[in-house]
Structure 1
Amino acid sequence: MKELILRPHQSHVEGQLREQLRAGVSRIVLVAPTAFGKTETAMFLIKLALQKGSRVWFLVDRVTLVKQTSDRFRAYGIPHGTIQGANATNDRYAPEQAVQIISIQTFERRDLGDPADLIFYDECHSQYAETLSRLEKYSKSKIIGMTATPFAPGMAQFWGGIVNGATVNRLLADHFLTPLKIKACVSPDMQGARRKPGGEYADEEAGQRGITIIGDVVQTWIQQTQKFFGGPAKTIVFSPSIKHGEELCRQFAEAGFNFQQISYLDRGDDVRDEKIDEFRKPDSAIHGLVSCAVLTKGFDVPDVMCGISCRPYRKSFSSHIQEMGRVMRTSPGKDFGLWLDHSGNCISFAQDTAWLFEYGVDSLSDAAKRDAEVREPTEKIKQTLFCADCGMQMEAASFVCRSCGWERPKRGEIQIVQGELIDFAHSIQETFQPRKGLRAECVNDPRAIWNAALSYTSSNSSKGPEFAKKWAMGVWFGIYEGARPPRGFFDGKADPSKVQTDQWSLIEREVQRFRKRSKHNQRRAA
């Protein structure tokens, strides 16, 4: 049996959760990235709850995750039962236990008797209406949601508190996550594609348009895995449709590689589980799994070395982050993961990704807006963050592409952080570059600059908060030309207590600069 010892960042979050619960907040979201150890943090709280004689439910949003979660509870010696589907065939059904792991599907349909004292809701960004409706009835229960991507609309209406765990940058620095080498490949032209009611591309449309680059997917994978790993490497492919996935598997087979598709159309859980169990083996006969909407959540195979994105998203930032997280888990001998982007998602979500991984999530209200906004790749981002010759993502401190030797044009205005890897898609310093001539050190923290700008305009305007925000946005654009902050920050409040002297002085100089330019332009016009 493993001993459950929390890491420092987990212990800090566990204390914050208990503090909010003691303060009377009954619905709290723990926001933390892949590999933070959200389940381990929950298990620590569950052990404390058991010591007090409390009953606990742990909800998972897919039947396939019940056994995976149960295995982790067993490893740490936490007695429990599982409730899912037909309990007659469930060898872990133990209703007498104080801790129950329950699938969301069963939770919504079955009478479970008296509510638990403490309820954990894993992947709570799923926001199933029936699940939330049932949870609302348990007014005396303490409910803790857990997610890496709290961007679903309406989360702020249900959840009353948020605890922000360690950021991806911190987990990378502490070696709890594996960095990615990202290669931006050919992306399908989605201009004019049909869309679902929520704004995403229809599966059939994305599949048909993506199918034109399938040959590139297979050949790029062969070339890049040979280059970085010396041959085939364990891979996950995220496909936009069943037909697209079938065609990918066929072409991989023609090239001599075993790729198996898993999807919501599988004949049963047993068939899917057999493929996944084989894929988990270190010497698996399966080179890769092709997933159509089934491996974005909770899937944990740490030795996956490569991920391939073939499903373009218009709005779903959360799906993009979830997919990349499948390749970022650490494993012995794994120095990095390889991400082959055939969808354009890395470029479309470049600014939001850099901001999220540097700063985390400030509030649910802000976060929900990131999945409500359409992103399209911009040429500026392509040029500044990827090699102009081979498309490989470049490190922040490098002027030479390690993949092909292309040299980035040297520009004095670029802010460099020596030795820092471009985490995930981009670093903050590369994504939010100040204009030429601005060398103040404080511009390396764009969130602090936004807070300083909003604090300044709020205290120097009598026209109301909306005018102050628009003014602050204008100041922001003057500093970081063309790179706006994530949309949610426009709706946030300023915190003047955090503004430093150099930040305030910068904002004052920017305002004076704008006024001088305006007067000069007026004189020229006259």
Structure 2
Amino acid sequence: MLAPAYSNIVLRPHQETSVETVRQKMREKQRRVILVAPTAFGKTECAAWIIQQSLDKGARAWFIVDRVTLINQTSKRFYSYGIDHGIIQAEHPLTDPTKQIQIASAQTIAKRSFDYLPDLIVVDEAHCEYQAVLDLIERAGRAYVIGLTATPFTAGMADHWDALINGATVNQLLAQKWLTPLRIKACVTPDMQGAKKKFTGEYEDEEAGQRGIIIIGDVVQTWVEQTQKHFGRPVKTIVFSPSVKHGEELCRQFAEAGFNFQQISYLDGSDRERQDKIDEFSKPDSAIHGLVSCAVLTKGFDVPDVLCGISCRPYRKSFSSHIQEMGRVMRTAPGKEFGLWLDHSGNSIAFADDTAWLYEYGVGSLSDAEKRDSTVREPTEKVRREHFCHNCGMKLEAGVDTCVGCGETRRKRGEIEIVHGELIDLDITTRATFQPRKGLRADCLDDPRAMWNAALAYTLANSSKGEEAARKWAYGVWRGIYPGSKLPYGLFDAPCHQSTVKASEYQLIEREIRRFRKQPRRAA
């Protein structure tokens, strides 16, 4: 039996804070706690550290993964931490129900009945919401439960968890060099107008794939040009494809161009065949230039030296899938300064505001978060017109009308130029996405969420027509400050925190309202 080696897990400062917050919530008898944090935060390490501590107390702990294929990967990590464990899976060589720590898949949990239940349950990828796991949590009524996720946007999650902890935001991890920044290129996309849709509101896979096949030549050409420009050579790449047929055609055209791209999908002949491709791709000197993924690799995939991601699968609602996909390219690796994201789906534009908000602020509450995956968003030319040079495609700095790349002047409102297939840089920061009205200058304007809270605090205190009217008034004030932006989904109904409003924020809101009242009344 392996002895636990507690020194194997050295928590980073943000992990230590999160672990202590989880334990504090449990001391407060909040039984089901969900830890929300981006890719590369180290959520598994946090959970493993807590599991290690439970061993000395004689507690039973189960770590539940969302797919059978992740069992062995998780087992290797636990052994690297010095955590002895058994595995709940038919005919697995590590099956041993006497072990305090067990690793299981949600699928196996659904097929088994148990004479004993754990004292601690850790649910990886908790946003997947398997009914069998929810039933287990209900039956193990005295067990503490920790959920791990980067994207808690599934409908109904607010009913299943007692407390939410934001471990860190993407921007915080970027600043601390625990994540690699992305350079995003919004590229030519297929025409999805009139495309068939599933009952979920997303595009039919085959429909999206068929339309995507038309632009595969652009996908290959753009990849060749951009990897040469940014890295001076072909680099490891992941492609997210909408259908198997699309992926096959993509691999064929990459092969014609002299590059080895291999598809992995839910139709693979065996898990071993898929794993062999992933193992080869994981080698530093891999013979595979890229993996083309159809409905796999959006989570649980860890090849840090991937330098490029290609998005070919358009989403209308699934913000979580977009975030999960980009996370596959954001892990750090020696010598990796940035990741390149080539967007042939339009997702980076459609979800630009949501992405900027999530990266800056994290998740406010589960009830608000689930709205992120339930509302249709469509890519528009608005982001292109407002944030990028119409001449050279360089990103325009906030508040600057002249492009630093070519000296061109930013186009005025109403001057619209659409260039199909034009390659542009896309910035996903709140500073670029939520730009204040020209002429407004104040440090507090860099925090659009705080400005919304300040506007809401003012209108709630000064409206005589009830809360709904006060919120509409606050939205009008906020839009006057950020005229080209929309309030992110869920924030309109979020609670107001009057105690956090700064004097500078409140004073700016007062000035804006006085300014509006001085304007001539519009004719009816």
TM-score range with shorter-chain normalisation? over 0.9
What is the DSSP-based 3-state SS (H/G/I as helix, E as strand, rest coil) of the residue aligned with 2:87? strand
1:187-336 aligned at under 5 Å gives the runs: 187-336=189-338
* Structure-1 residue corresponding to 2:461: 459
Classify 1:395/1:102 alpha carbon distance in 2 versus 1 (closer, same or farther; 3 Å): farther
Is 2:46 aligned against 1:41? yes
Match status 1:409 vs 2:409: yes
Q: Please say which of residues 229-238 and 393-402 is displaced more in the overlay.
A: 393-402
Q: Which amino acid aligns with 1:500?
A: K
Counterparts of 1:115-126 in structure 2, within 5 Å, are 115-126=117-128
In the other structure, the counterpart of 2:359 is: 357
Say if 1:60 and 1:103, in contact at 8 Å, map to a contact too: yes
How far is the alpha carbon of 1:83 from its aligned partner? 2.1
Residue aligning to 1:174? 176
1:10 aligns to what?
Answer: 15
- Measure the CA separation in 2 of the matches of 1:407 and 1:72: 52
- Give the 3 Å change call, closer, same or farther, for CA 393–257 of structure 1 in structure 2: farther
- 1:37 maps to a residue whose letter is G
Q: In structure 2, how many angstroms separate the alpha carbons of the residues matched to 1:21 and 1:170?
A: 26
1:74 aligns with 2:79: yes
| In structure 2, C-alpha distance between the alignment counterparts of 1:406 and 1:370, rounded to whole Å | 37
1:259–1:395 distance in 2 versus 1, CA, 3 Å: farther
2:112 to 107, 110, 113: 110
Q: Deviations over 1:370-426 (max 9, x none)?
A: 111111123221123344345565676998879xx444636999xxxxxxxxx9951
Following the alignment from structure 1 to structure 2, what is the Cα–Cα distance between the partners of residues 436 and 396? 10
* Maintained 8 Å contact 1:61/1:123: yes
Q: Are the structure 2 counterparts of residues 509 and 250 from structure 1 closer, same or farther at C-alpha, using a change threshold of 3 Å?
A: same
**How far apart, CA to CA, are the structure 2 residues paired with 1:187 and 1:44?**
44
Structure 2 match to 1:417? none
- Distance in 2 separating the partners of 1:26 and 1:177: 31
Query: d(CA) in 2 for partners of 1:190 and 1:132?
Result: 37
CA distance in 1, matches of 2:445, 2:127: 33
Matched, 1:31 2:36: yes
By how many angstroms is 1:211 displaced? 1.0
**Compared CA separation, residues 326 and 139, structure 1 to 2 (3 A):** same
Q: Once the 2 structures are TM-superposed, how far is the Cα of residue 451 of structure 1 from its aligned partner?
A: 0.4
C-alpha displacement of 1:227? 1.4
Identity %: 63
| Counterpart amino acid of residue 117 in structure 2 | P
| Cα distance in 1 between the residues matched to 2:73 and 2:228 | 32
How far the C-alpha of 1:205 sits from its partner, in A, is 1.1
Q: How many residues align?
A: 509
Task: Give yes or no for contact 1:184–1:386 (8 Å, CA) kept in 2.
Answer: no
CA distance, structure 2, for counterparts of residue 400 and residue 279 of structure 1: 43
Indicate how the Cα distance of structure 1 residues 437 and 22 shifts in structure 2: closer, same or farther if over 3 A, else same: same
Runs of 4+ more than 4 Å apart: 389-402, 410-413
CA distance in 2 between partners of 1:401 and 1:50 (Å): 59
Q: Note the alpha carbon deviations across 1:125-163, whole angstroms, 9 max, x for none.
A: 111233323322221111111100111111101111100
The one-letter code matched in structure 2 to 1:172 is L
What is the distance in 2 between the residues matched to 1:43 and 1:194?
Answer: 44
TM-score between both structures, scaled by the size of structure 2:
0.93
209 and 476 in structure 1: CA distance in 2 versus 1, 3 angstrom threshold: same
- Return the offset for 1:292: 0.5
**Alpha-carbon distance, 1:464 to partner:** 2.0
Please tell me whether residue 147 in structure 1 is matched to residue 144 in structure 2: no
Query: Offset of 1:300 from its aligned partner?
Result: 0.5
Counterpart amino acid of residue 4 in structure 1: I
Residue deviations 1:58-104 (CA, integer Å, cap 9, x gap): 011011211111111111111112223x32xx232232211111111
The corresponding residue for 2:479 is: 477
Determine the structure 2 residue equivalent to 1:92: 94
One-letter code of the match for 1:521? Answer: R
**Distance verdict in 2 for CA 1:473–1:379, change over 3 Å:** same
Q: Distance in 2 between matches of 1:191 and 1:58?
A: 43
For residues 287 and 141 of structure 1, the distance between their equivalents in structure 2, rounded to whole angstroms, comes to: 46
Moved more, 169-178 or 434-443: 434-443
Picking from 361, 370, 375, the partner of 2:377 is: 375
**Contact 2:86/2:102 (CA < 8 Å) preserved in 1?**
yes
Rate the CA distance shift 1:390–1:64 in 2: closer, same or farther, 3 A.
farther
- Unaligned runs of 5+ residues in structure 2 are 414-424
AA matched with 1:198: T
C-alpha RMSD of the superposition: 2.2
SS of the residue 1:232 aligns to: coil
Deviates more, 1:72-81 or 1:373-382: 373-382
Q: Tell me, yes or no, if the aligned pair for 1:181 and 1:338 is still in contact at 8 Å.
A: yes
* Partner amino acid, structure 2, of 1:104: A
TM-score (norm 1): 0.93
Deviations 1:236-257 (A, max 9, x none): 0000011100100111111111
Q: In structure 2, give the amino acid aligned to 1:44.
A: W
Match of 1:163 among 146, 165, 170: 165
Residue of 322, 337, 346 corresponding to 2:348: 346
Match of 2:61 in 1: 56
CA 1:104–1:219: 2 relative to 1, 3 Å: same
**Native 8 Å contact 2:184 2:427 kept in 1:** yes
3-state SS, counterpart of residue 69 of structure 1: helix
Distance 2:127 2:462 in 1: 39
CA distance in structure 2 between the aligned counterparts of 1:383 and 1:70, rounded to whole angstroms: 49
SS at match of 1:274: helix
Where 1:78 maps in the other structure, the secondary structure is coil
The answer to whether the Cα contact below 8 Å between 1:385 and 1:426 also exists between their aligned partners in 2 is no
Partner deviation per Cα, 1:487-518 (whole Å, 9 max, x = no partner)? 2111111011001111111111112222222x
Change over 3 Å in CA distance of 1:232–1:152 after alignment to 2: same
- Counterpart Cα distance in 1 of 2:315 and 2:369: 17
Q: Deviations over 1:259-309 (max 9, x none)?
A: 111111111111111111111111111111000011001111001011000
* Structure 2 counterpart SS, 1:367: helix
Q: 1:460 to 1:396 in 2, by over 3 A?
A: closer
Secondary structure of the structure 2 residue equivalent to 1:510: helix
Q: Which moved more, 1:24-33 or 1:393-402?
A: 393-402
Per the alignment, do residues 370 and 131 of structure 1 end up closer, same or farther by CA in structure 2, a change over 3 Å counting? same
Contact 2:32 2:161 in 1 (8 A): yes
Deviation of the 1:112 alpha carbon: 3.1
Deviation of 1:484 (Å): 1.8
CA contact (8 A) 2:319 2:372 kept: yes
- The offset of 1:427, in angstroms, is 1.1
Q: Relative to structure 2, which stretch is displaced further, 457-466 or 280-289?
A: 457-466
The structure-2 alpha-carbon separation of the partners of 1:459 and 1:335, relative to structure 1 and needing over 3 Å to count, comes to same
Distance 1:50 1:393, change over 3 A: farther
CA contact under 8 A between 1:476 and 1:484: conserved in structure 2? Answer: no
**Cα distance change, pair 261–281 in 1 and its aligned pair in 2 (3 A):** same
8 Å contact from structure 2 (residues 402, 410) kept in 1: no
Counterpart of 1:314 in structure 2: which amino acid? R
